[in-house]
Structure 1
Amino acid sequence: MRDIPVNTRPLDGPPPRIDGPEGATDCHIHVYIEGHAPQPGGPPIAELATPDDYVVVQRRLGLTRVVITQSNAYQFDNGATITGLKAIGAETARGVVVVGPDTTDAELAEYHTLGVRGARVMNLPGGAVGIDGMAEVEARIRGLGWHLMVQFDGREIERHRRALEAIRTDYIIDHTGKFLAPVPADDPRVDTLLRLIDRGNAWFKVAGLYETSRTGAPDFADVAPIARRVIAHAPERVIWGSNWPHVGVARENYPDDAVLLDNLAAMADEATRRRILIDNPATLYGFA
């Protein structure tokens, strides 16, 4: 008997309008795999979401490479992420794990060999490591050349600015800045975000617009302008992720992955999209 139901989310459908060129990368998915149980402190797992499930989504979108991000449900247990990496292979997959006080140097070395290139910092409910633990994590990963993937309520960016400025490795400002109540693109807090990017080690991930948008699909008109402003300002520092399998979203509001990819067409021209989907992820994640 399965403890967690198999996936019932829609995986296939009409392709996106824009082509996914060879080497195009989805920089943010999660996997939920049989035999890996949710951990105390994290959210429950409603359904499995396996590497085989994602292959269907990936094929539909015309993408080639993927970054598996440790789910909050698993907290400090990176087992499912590592299982997913092994299933897909380091030629086309990378990983972002959670690094805790009990993570050994030997584990970090093994993770690196398997394709891990980042550590997750989640300063929102359910996160395993918050910004208060970020400096300790950075010290552990710096020698490996990994980056930090940092998610927080963008409305609090000034509160976290000094901690972000102190980061010496590369780091990603996750989920389109994750302004939990959308703000205009010319908001002073977006100005702060751009200044952080201009320091040279911050990246910006366009992902999860549906999580914070009040106006909704297909345009996410209250959130997308922030992404457009960042892309226009620093296209060389932007990556994209689907955030599949969109956990925590009611089925009636479940986003269409093709629509999420097509949002880039309204944000960037073809040359810039290639940069976001291919060149920038190759630089950050070390894809050949």
Structure 2
Amino acid sequence: MPLHIEKVSHRYGSVEALDGIELDITDGETVALIGPSGCGKSTLLGIIGGLLQPTAGRVALSGPPPQDSLNPFTYVFQDFALLPWRSVADNVSLALEHRSLGAAERRERVAAALALTGLGDFAGAYPKQLSGGMRQRVGLARALVVRPAVLLLDEPLSALDAQTRELLMEDLLAIWARDKSTRVYVTHNLEEAARLADRVVVLSRRPGRIREVIGIDVPVAERAKPEHSRLLIDVHKRLWSLIRDEAATADREMQAVDR
């Protein structure tokens, strides 16, 4: 469902993290947030999801969530946070506990989420038996089982190796072709942003402001085709040109703090 970010600003004491963020996200759209370290990407995601109250401005949804949605907003983090003593199916069903659902509906939702994420054959497995990519699929299934109106992803692939990340990007595109939630995706990885997002929002150094919004005209399902490789390279170069100098400055500031 459509999401509206209206003049959102946020401060942590004397530190101004975000300043005047305005953005409309359409129903079913994937928007990636990128920018130099400390630009407020995760802060903005927390405000969207209701974990943080903005200092100024607001976030609003257009209309009520879908009828079968148990949570308007649901997160996927880079930390899988799976319970090792619970099976895959039981980890996914954790999101349904304390909900007034019948046993049949609970089973149906878990089975549907496992099928959507390619985990149907692993329902009885335990986290220690799974690869990192498979564990992240469990985390994704746990988020999708509540059928959120808006899915919030905070660097979900950053803890994975390069090959697994490539596979997960393909999986995400296949899932999103069938799942109609609206998505906000925070990443440091410019390739992920170019591959997965309909639009990429580039934030400035702190305080985070929107520098530019870059739309990618080729449908996400077609971007892996060889004929579109040049487009992705050009988008990557454009994104890097927008954040390079500020990223270098932010890196020097972090190194100075570490000393």
Q: With the length of structure 1 as denominator, give the TM-score of the two structures.
A: 0.35
Higher relative contact order (CA 8 A, sep 6+): 2
Q: Which structure has greater strand proportion?
A: 2
Q: Look at both structures and tell me which one has the larger radius of gyration over its CA atoms.
A: 2
